[in-house]
Structure 1
Amino acid sequence: MAARNVNLTDRLAAFVDEQVRNGRHQNASEVVREALRRYEAALAAERDAMGMVRAALRKAIHRSETGADIRPELLETALAEMAEASPAGPGA
């Protein structure tokens, strides 16, 4: 496991200390590793969401008469259809 030294703001240092003090984590390294795992998952979710928006935009463009006339309702319909088709279901 690679060792790293990081500088934290006073607020973040207090947060880390509190997580250890209340027993949620055994030490500061566990807090930081969990935070990084959550950040990594959030970035992946953001990337997936942006992919969905891009795909919906392409679908809306395809459905528009001119290919350049993207009406909001076409994009909303495409996004709703994609959300319904998602394995996680709508609102996921």
Structure 2
Amino acid sequence: MSYIGGKWKAVILMYLISKKRRYSELHQGMKTISERTLSLHLKEMEADGLIKRTVYTTKPPLKVEYELTEFGRSLEPILTALSNWGRDLAETKNLESI
């Protein structure tokens, strides 16, 4: 659980399932995460081997992309199942409140 625990790690990994993303894309997709928290989690997940950080030294600015490693991809079925469960639960709760 230390690999995906907490409020944001699973969310970040879900964003990276579909494609590589730049830092700004991740931050825009998760508007309520602070830049410090996002940066910290990305560093932790890179150190854990879940994501790969690629730096392109293009001119102008430096371009950095994040993508899942094979180890990170191994979590895809688990993350997808959790996402589906949460979506189903939200739909059930919405129907019960009507």
**TM bracket (short chain):** 0.3 to 0.5
TM-score by length of 2: 0.35
Task: Say which structure is richer in strand.
Answer: 2
Q: Higher helix share goes to which structure?
A: 1
Under a length normalisation based on structure 1, what TM-score does the superposition of the two structures give? 0.37
**Could you say which structure has the greater relative contact order, defined with CA pairs below 8 angstroms and 6 or more residues apart?**
2
Q: Determine which structure has more spread, i.e. the larger CA radius of gyration.
A: 1
